[in-house]
Structure formats: C-alpha cells, structure tokens
Amino acid sequence: MKFVLKVLITAVNAFLLAYLLPGISINHFFTAIVVAFVLALLDAIVKPILVLFTLPATIFTLGLFLFVINACIILLDAYFVKGFVVDGFWYALLFSICLSIINSIVHKMVLKEEGRDKAN
C-alpha cells in the first residue's frame, strides 16, 4: 500500500511540475501515473547499476554526479513513456531536482500523518 501511495504522490508532483516548468510536458494525469511507476522501476533497477559503474566519478565530484544520473533516469523515463516529453538534459536535471525536493517534503508529511493515524 505504501508503494502505491508513493507512486500517486510522485504522479501528482510530476504533473504539477510539468505544468510549472518549461521544457517538461505530461499529456494526462494517467500518463503521470505511468511516469511515476516507470520512474520507480528505473530507480530500483537501472539507477543502482549506473551508480556502481560511475562510482569513481561520484566520489571525485563528492556526490554531485548523482544529479547527472538522476537526469539520465528522467530522460530514460521520457524515452519509454509516450506522452511524457523532456526537451533536453538541463530540463531533465531541473525536473529531477525539483521532483526530489517536493517528493521528500510531501512524503515526510504524508507518512508522518499516516504514522500518527496508526498510533491513535
């Protein structure tokens, strides 16, 4: 259930960011759900492999290369999902940074509220 909630939160945030940021386009909310699901799959499968292969660059840049990996994951997502358009690497980088920040804030708020509900 927690996975579905995280995918839905990511879908809503991605849909809002596509509306706010130039260079990012998501056609429908259902497309945003597919984008969030594919992003979760890519983060679980492809990202660890990329991090492992680029470990020297990540260490040399003190972790900043992870931003490049996140942007590549967003570009891969745009490649696989029809209706999700990213105009280039820099837009993917901006989108990934904004999505990460907003998701972390919203996930903490929602999961904190969920924990309070279970405690009562």
Q: What is the pLDDT along the chain (120 residues), one digit of tens a residue?
A: 788 989 999 999 999 999 999 999 999 999 999 999 999 999 999 999 999 999 999 999 999 999 999 999 999 999 999 999 999 999 999 999 999 999 999 988 887 766 666 655
- The pTM assigned to this predicted structure is 0.87
| Domain around 72 | 2-119
**Partners of residue 115 on adjacent β-strands:** none
Residues with Cβ within 8 Å of residue 61, at least 6 apart in sequence: none
In the chain, the number of structural domains is: 1
Residues with Cβ within 8 Å of residue 26, at least 6 apart in sequence: 14, 15, 18, 32, 35, 83, 84, 85
For the chain, the 3-state helix, strand and coil shares in percent, each to the nearest 5, are 80, 5, 15
